[in-house]
Structure 1
Amino acid sequence: MAGENLKVLSALDSAKTQWYHFTAIIIAGMGFFTDAYDLFCISLVTKMLGRIYYHVEGASKPGTLPPNVSAAVNGVALCGTLAGQLFFGWLGDKLGRKKVYGITLMLMCLCSIASGLSFGHDAKAVMATLCFFRFWLGFGIGGDYPLSATIMSEYANKKTRGAFIAAVFAMQGFGILGGGIFAMIISSAFEARFPAPAYQVDAAASTVPEADYVWRIILMVGAVPALLTYYWRMKMPETARYTALVAKDLKQANADMSKVLNVDIEAEQTKVEQKIENPSSDNSFGLFSKEFVRRHGLHLLGTTSTWFLLDIAFYSQNLFQKDIFSAIGWIPAAKTMNAIKEVFTIARAQTLIALCSTVPGYWFTVALIDKMGRFTIQLLGFSMMTIFMFALAFPYNHWTQPGHHIPFVVMYSFTFFFANFGPNATTFVVPAEIFPARLRSTCHGISAASGKLGAIVGAFGFLYLAQNQDKAKTDAGYPPGIGVKNSLIMLGVVNVLGLLFTFLVPESKGKSLEEMSGENEDVKKGGEELEHPPSYTNRKVPMA
């Protein structure tokens, strides 16, 4: 809507931070808490699945998932997430953010429960059922990305918008932390109630039948936080920017925002109706049209490429950190623990990493993103990730020696810290700010789907690289862990590429969404006052 300073949008840009902003962060953020819990809790129980369903009577070591099954169990949810991001991102622009927001949450709830109830007459059938439900779980998770980011960006004011969007995404860190803590609690409870001997000759001796309940309960609990926020998601009004700029109903936008932001906003319906009758041809371009490519082509390339490269590294680190810690000897050998104890040990390591590096990294971004800017934080993150990856990779044999495990874990933790105080947060924030309202959810979905494509590369590709190279090289007389070393080197190279593509991403700090997207050409550059400041009076109206 070029040339029109709508007062409802002006009021949103200049509104003071209110209780509703924090309510929206919690409502949207609990979706990301659930997302992270569901996506990463599978890595806690993967080894247990191998012990339960793939042990061989009289074998000399505990059962493990075959590489193809392990890759499928870890990666199938990411495939579903990619599809969900594209589909729900598009649907959010067609039907509105609110109308499809509840669908994604219910899909996540149902599939979390169904994943824990996976059934079958043999191991392959159970794994196939688990993969089926985790694909659709990922499909629902995928919808949460573009919708939550877009809703939060369209509610926020321009001075604190980055912090609000980043705070929603930061709930992902609490989801990872919550998954680790719950896995520790449930495994400890089962270990106390159903003690089992450490691994002996028969793999079944260290896997009590009750272990089958542990992984199922861990997966099913992911439905709880989503269910707790479903009602409040349904009570949220449609965003004013969608209602005004896409649905063209300014009166409804005014009414909705007057309720939730405690202001009275004077309508300018006459001007809007005139604008609808004579829409600007410059601002009616479609996705991937010549005009879109001219205005936003490089922006979309920047957001998709950086998210793709970041997620190769980020998801590889998260999903397979247990294998890396085992390779350097920080997690004891499987044969020294029973199945339930192994879940506790892996969960403890993940919880420690999340508590000391992952969660602080997210909240450093929340605190500093509107001061330092998106570009600076992303550049810093990719740079530091590169440095720490190479510092771990090149002297890898040194880190595997006795007494060097703790320094390795500390440096490895720094890669997580700078991923989250860096591109893992900014790649989520920026696509929700720089595209037009009618394409915002779609473009965020495309960017996020590109990221999940990178995650799939990490989940499938680097698993085979680490496992197959380790086996081949060890058989040939090379030191153990050579595959892990090469994987770390490649992840360092990936981070270098991410750093370079960051230069395609524009800085959106302190600018209105309409200024960034070009929808309001009368907004002055540099965040100056609008030509027509918002007119409103304070009110005390309860949240709808």
Structure 2
Amino acid sequence: MPPRVLSRLDTARTQYYHFKAIVVAGMGIFTDSYDLFCIPPIMRLLGPIYYKSHSNRIRPATEAAMLAVPLLGTVIGQLLFGWLGDRVGRRRVYGITLMLMMVSSIGCGFSMGTTQARVLATLGFFRFLLGVGIGGDYPLSATIMSEFANKRKRGAFIAAVFSMQGIGILAGSVVTMVVCRIFRRIDPSTNEADVAWRLILMLGVVPTALTYYWRMMMPETARYTALVELNVAQAARDMERVLDVSLSQIAEDHSFSPSPPSYPLFSRQFFLLHGRDLLACSATWLLLDIVFYGSNLCQPHIFEKYFDDSEKITAFEAAFKVAKLQAIVACCSTIPGYFAAIFLIDRVGRVRIQAVGFILMAGLYFSCAYLFVPHHTGKLFTILYVMTFFFANCGPNTTTFIVPAELFPARFRSTCHGIAGAVGKVGAMIGAVGFLEALQGGLKINVVLIIFGGICVVGMAVTLLLTRETMGRSLEENEKESEDEPVQGKCFS
């Protein structure tokens, strides 16, 4: 039997602290998407500044590097801070990742150098550090929210945290559009573009900084304190501080000592009990991110006619158009997809949403490949292409973030989420950089879209064959099921 404080957490009613935790945890995800997805319009500002001899267009290799560097940092951050979250505690590491993101965002804006190469190298360095902080925030945010939530609404709470990704994309686009309009009125030329792109990057730190105090005041999760540190009494005292419950309701009637861990991480027994779950989480996240980041970060290349610079528009106008498209996609498809996931995740289940999302994305990508005509993106193509983001977010993009935070024991939870996320970000690098390289090599967009559709079909198959359903069960019940132990009161609804 789990400690009483954990049972009380599983059945606790939804209250103010849950919503506070969503905002605090979600700000890291907000910063992630703001900084990663504001790069495409910023590339339009960098071109006239540093590549005047190349028709004011940034080199494809440089653009690919600016996309890949933070993603590489994210891989390292997920592995490192995921492991630290299990070793020294979620709360102790949580503030470090947020501070790293804030310092790196400001550093990006102050990228200095006497030559073009040095400025871009400095920017790349700070974006790498930013990626490390972002990567560390992923497993910690998901794990903390899963361990604070009740089992009835746990999926919706974690999905709400992840929905801040859509808000971050929209915020980055809006900030870019506003900054471009202001600077265009001040000086229609590109003389002030060097200030504009720095300002856009630094403004992303503001909402994150506002939640830093709350993040530092959060107690350690009761599951980590009780099951990893084996201090049930302290876990009860911590939860009394934040939940509407008295200590007498969650304290043990007698001395309670949880059993210490019986096997280490990456041992033979670990792989026998959790290897399938880790494979399922990592594989589906990898496949999803190849498609999601490849399609999202490379929108200007798919809608080439929309961004045609033959009219000799200014850098501010070009960046504005890229940001405007991102904002439209976010409002019409991305954000509604997240909201749909919040509504459905604890009603339909993770496996069904993920499998259906993959197969609908596949159908849409195949249809887009058939309809796509170079330099002429028609209305039907645009509608179908935008809908892929809805079913990604009301599907595998959200569930791949949720499921790793629910399947593994408390002492491995953050590490395993970090491993799955790191594998996913390797897929993001393949999708974003590979897509650009493929286009430069002459591969047709139709073929790329067909490849995306095929990857989604594989994702559906992996989901149905390997992924376990976690809806309606406590985190401890999910762990026991993987060990094939009988669990009383298990909920399969």
Same-fold call, TM cutoff 0.5: yes
Separation (CA, whole Å) in 2 of partners of 1:332 and 1:189? 23
Could you say which residue in structure 2 is the equivalent of 1:306?
Answer: 284
Preserved CA contact (<8 Å) 2:10 2:474: yes
Q: Answer yes or no: is 1:93 the counterpart of 2:89.
A: no
| Aligned CA-pair RMSD | 1.7
1:272 to 244, 250, 256: 256
Paired residues of 2:176 and 2:319 also in contact (CA < 8 A): yes
How far the C-alpha of 1:330 sits from its partner, in A, is: 2.6
2:25 paired with 1:63: no
TM-aligned CA deviation for residue 227 of structure 1: 0.6
Q: Secondary structure at the match of 2:220?
A: coil
Whole-Å separation in 2 of the counterparts to 1:337 and 1:271: 73
SS of 1:65 mapped into structure 2: coil
CA distance in 1, matches of 2:359, 2:48: 39
Distance (whole Å) between structure 1 residues aligned to residue 37 and residue 383 of structure 2: 21
Are 2:29 and 1:36 aligned? no
Q: Which residue of 1 aligns with 2:49?
A: 52
Question: Among 212, 221, 234, which residue is 1:252 paired with?
Answer: 234
Deviations 1:95-152 (A, max 9, x none): 0000000000000000001111111121111111111110000000001100000000
Once the 2 structures are TM-superposed, how far is the Cα of residue 496 of structure 1 from its aligned partner? 1.2
Q: Deviations over 1:511-539 (max 9, x none)?
A: 000000129957425329xxxxxxxxxxx
Secondary structure at the counterpart of residue 412 of structure 2: helix
* Equivalent of 2:164 in 145, 167, 171: 171
After superposition, give the CA deviation of every residue in 1:358-378 in whole Å (9 maximum; x if it has no partner). 000011000110000000100
Deviations 1:221-275 (A, max 9, x none): 11111111100000000000000000111111001111211112342385433x4
Q: Is 2:21 the counterpart of 1:24? A: yes
Alignment of 1:305-324 (within 5 A): 305-324=283-302
Alignment partner for residue 498 of structure 1, among 445, 459, 468? 459
Give the corresponding residue for 1:474: none
Structure 1 equivalent of residue 178 of structure 2: 185
**What is the match of residue 508 of structure 1?**
470
Inter-partner Cα distance in structure 1 for 2:423 and 2:382:
29
Secondary structure of 2:490 counterpart? helix
**1:488 lines up with 2:449 in the alignment:** yes
Structure 2 counterpart of 1:362: 338
- Once residues 26 and 483 of structure 1 are traced to their aligned partners in structure 2, the CA distance between those partners, rounded to angstroms, is 42
CA contact (8 A) 1:468 1:483 kept: no
C-alpha distance in structure 2 between counterparts of 1:334 and 1:22, whole Å: 48
Q: Secondary structure at the match of 1:121?
A: coil
Q: Whole-Å Cα distance in 1 between the matches of residues 102 and 81 of structure 2?
A: 17
Could you say what secondary structure the match of 1:73 adopts? helix
Ranges of 4+ aligned residues in structure 1 off by more than 4 Å: 519-522
**CA spacing shift, 1:69–1:332, aligned 2, 3 Å:** closer
Distance (Å, rounded) in 1 between the aligned partners of 2:188 and 2:168: 29
- Alpha-carbon distance in structure 1 between the residues aligned to 2:254 and 2:289: 47
Question: Which of residues 420, 441, 454 in structure 1 aligns to 2:427?
Answer: 454
2:490 aligns to what? 526
Look up the equivalent residue of 2:228 and give its one-letter code: V
Is the 8 Å Cα contact of residues 330 and 405 (structure 1) preserved in structure 2? no
- Contact 2:30–2:168 under 8 Å retained in 1: yes
Work out whether 1:376 is the aligned partner of 2:352. Answer: yes
- 1:130 corresponds in structure 2 to 123
Rounded Cα–Cα distance in structure 2 between residues aligned with 1:63 and 1:525: 65
Written as runs of structure 1 = structure 2, the 5 A alignment for 1:392-541 is 392-397=368-373, 400-401=375-376, 405-469=378-442, 483-503=444-464, 504-518=466-480, 523-527=487-491
Q: CA deviation at 1:439?
A: 0.1
Bigger drift between 47-56 and 330-339 goes to 330-339
- Verify: 1:74 aligned to 2:92, yes or no: no
Helix, strand or coil at the partner of 2:52 = coil
TM-score, normalization: structure 1?
0.87
Count of residues paired in the alignment:
488
Contact 1:467–1:483 at 8 Å: present in 2 too? Answer: no
- What is the identity, as a one-letter code, of the residue corresponding to 2:231? D
Separation in structure 2 between the aligned mates of residue 254 and residue 266 of structure 1, nearest angstrom: 6
How far has the Cα of 1:31 moved from its partner?
1.4
1:111–1:134 CA contact under 8 A, matched in 2: yes
In 1, distance between residues paired with 2:118 and 2:165?
31
CA distance in 2, matches of 1:234, 1:434: 27
Partner Cα separation in structure 2 for residue 295 and residue 434 of structure 1: 11
Are the counterparts in 2 of residues 334 and 342 from structure 1 also a CA contact under 8 Å? no
Report the 3-state secondary structure (helix = DSSP H, G, I; strand = E; otherwise coil) of the residue aligned with 2:363: helix
Whole-angstrom CA distance in 2 between matches of 1:335 and 1:129: 32
Paired with 2:2 and 2:28, the residues of 1 have a C-alpha distance of 33
Alpha-carbon distance between aligned partners in 2 of 1:318 and 1:128, rounded to the nearest angstrom: 24
Are 1:227 and 2:233 counterparts?
A: no
Unaligned runs of 5+ residues in structure 2 are: none
Deviates more, 1:41-50 or 1:95-104: 41-50
Does the CA contact (< 8 Å) of 1:5 and 1:522 recur in 2? no
Give the C-alpha shift of residue 429 in structure 1: 0.2
Shift, 1:334, TM fit: 5.0
- 113-122 or 260-269, which deviates more: 260-269
Give the corresponding residue for 1:537. Answer: none
CA separation in 1, counterparts of 2:468 and 2:347?
16
Aligned 8 A contact 2:295 2:432 in 1: no
Call closer, same or farther: CA 1:505–1:179 in 2, change over 3 Å: same
Letter matched to residue 502 of structure 1:
T
> How far 1:50 moved relative to its partner?
1.9
Contact residue 30 and residue 226 of structure 1 kept, 8 A: yes
- Unpaired segments ≥5 residues, structure 1: 197-207, 470-481, 529-544
Question: 1:338: Cα distance to partner?
Answer: 0.7
